[in-house]
Structure 1
Amino acid sequence: MGRLSATAVKAAKEPGRYGDGDGLYLVVTPSGSKSWVCRVQKNGKRRDIGLGSVKKVPLALARERAIKTRMQVEVGIDPVLDRRKEAGIPTFREAVLQVFAENKTTWKNQKHRAQWLSTLERYAFPVIGDLSIGELDGHHARDVVAPIWLEKPETARRVRQRIGSVVDWAIGKGYRALPLPLAAMDKSLPKIKTKPVHHAALPYAEVPKFFAFLQSGESIGRLAFSALILTAARSGEIRGATWDEIDFENALWTIPAERMKAGREHVIPLSPQALSIFQKAARFREARSPLVFPGQRAAKPLSDMTLTKICRDAQIDAVPHGFRSSFRDWVAEETTFDGDIAEMALAHAIGNKVEAAYRRGNLLEKRRIMMNSWGIYCDN
């Protein structure tokens, strides 16, 4: 060691590597910039580790850093990771655990809480767990989801979204400046072929496309189906809706107890999208009928077969009632809304104390926020 001198370092102009001995190199780039690199080898793998710019790191300090780097590698310590820890910038794994710790108390849905962390542990940690959150880029995220993109598209999409959430957290903490270019990453992945649905409930990921289909025409049947999706109501509740149940001023739909399966009055906060559907339905209002969605005979409600036929016309293997499951799955998988609030939206029995609070407290407003989010999602 000691082939170079301070004078030789200053005089070096020709691009290339200048060895000092024991793996320490002075690197001169074509632009004239100079930096130090320590070349190490462990278990047959060779690696170059940067030690800093010549402007900030003189020769003596570069030698000290090279010695420390070789010692760390020899005992199994990654010098780069160790340096990042000293700088205070967490690895992706550390960032995930911090995000999880900060948010887990707000994720009341146990399934969502468990899946959020387990999917990242299984698919992301082996690939990018030790990468600095500040250096994570789109191609790193792509390397995580690419192996499961076609085999497990729904899981891949969730992992991708959760990686993006962790990066957004890092931006807020000041660990990085830019988000991941997820749109460009998506375009670089194979196109997922749409598979036919063979179950009664349409996957929530396909609901916006079906909702767009409904909006491509305007009829009583399509309006009723749109209202069914946006309110997560049962088919019978929609088809039997009357104008005196709709409060346009306060954006509420109050279904009396006698029309509810559980025999209890049910109040549904109407999102802007749902309110718009009821306003459109008013154009078809029959003076002789109190029904919001009358059938061919104004005195009788719309037939359930009318809604079923719409599913067939759209070539989806689902039934109207299945959209309640689509809504519930969306709440569990895509949001942090409390599961009890979702059950209230579906008019499921959840206990007297909670029910009383829902009727008198602010849970109705929480449901309004949830239904507004669902309306935005469907109308995307």
Structure 2
Amino acid sequence: MRATNRLSAKGAAALGPGKYPDGAGLWLVKQESVRGKWVLRVTIHGRRREMGLGPFPAVSLSEARRKADEARATVRNGLDPIRERDRARREAARNLHLLKDIATDCFESRKAELKGDGKAGRWFSPLEIHVLSKLGGMPVADIEQTDIRDCLAPIWHNKAVTASKALNRLALCMKHAAALGLTVDLQACDKARALLGKPRHKAQNIPALPWKDVPGFYASLTDGTVTHLALRLLILTGVRSAPLRFLHLGQINGDMWTVPAEAMKGRRDATQAFRVPLVPEALQVIEAAKAHARDGFLFPSVRKGVISDATMARMMERRGMEARPHGFRSSLRDWLAEATDAPHEVAETMLGHVTGGAVVKAYRRTDFLEQRRVLLERWAGYVTGQSGLVVKMVRG
């Protein structure tokens, strides 16, 4: 019989990267000195398989041995321990019955589809705040349209966008529950929507400064503070405030700023990083911002982290302006439409928008970098008062 229990808890912790047998098919595989995983090698119906027993050191040596003994016992009974474990997990999932449990399980299943694995909380928050706080403790099978109506009625008209998101995500949770084998009313959310009626609230666009007024505002940003410099770069590049606020020196290479894909709204594919050409005026702003940089971030807040969007907005509020930082994207887009003959695809790409259907996107291999650079140079010249308005694009 092969020797077993070769490892000790203290010895396992001291081992470096490598593969170490404990005996009878149990191995400790360490990728690093401080962490690794437990693997059990078993032969099932003449086929050799490896079964993961959990991470090391979260799963201790004694726990790994206990799991290995259980798996070996399953093999002796002529069953596949991997399949049996998966079946047990499915059974446990079917036993989920409270809405809060279903919602959490649904969120975990959808994380890969969400920007940044949903860490910002924007997917889960509307559901958590406005639905789970009232219905989370109810069995999902008992939830009816009247429950949903009563839950969302207080915000249906005055917070229509948030309420609609909460209802849509609740509908996904109901479908998730049905997929787990639970009996639920898949029409409950649609029925609740009918009971709630059409929201009276109308979505409003974020106020934007007219493009003809941008040069005057840009010229007033002269004190060299983090807020003024951030607003200047926001105007010059046309990016959203989030990637700008989290701009790190490591993202800049010469006259190019590469915004990571996870920082781009609506882009989850790791290959979809967005390149922003940095014109001379933008490079001057970045150089000035380096004096404020902390931990590589160009626009740090006073205490910790980075500057908030609210900080820039409050500065504009104090000046009595209705416009908000995000509105400068509209200012740039209107300038492109009214003062240039930039093609639609180029203008939309400048804002990081993805245009065209699936076929068009599949075949398009360009991000119009050089065309965008020319336009951003003209835009910088316009906002700094150095050039005229009309831009003619050369069509290739």
Task: Give TM-score scaled by structure 1 length.
Answer: 0.44
- Of structures 1 and 2, the one with the larger relative CO (CA 8 A, separation 6+) is 1
Q: Larger radius of gyration, structure 1 or 2?
A: 1
Task: Give TM-score scaled by structure 2 length.
Answer: 0.42
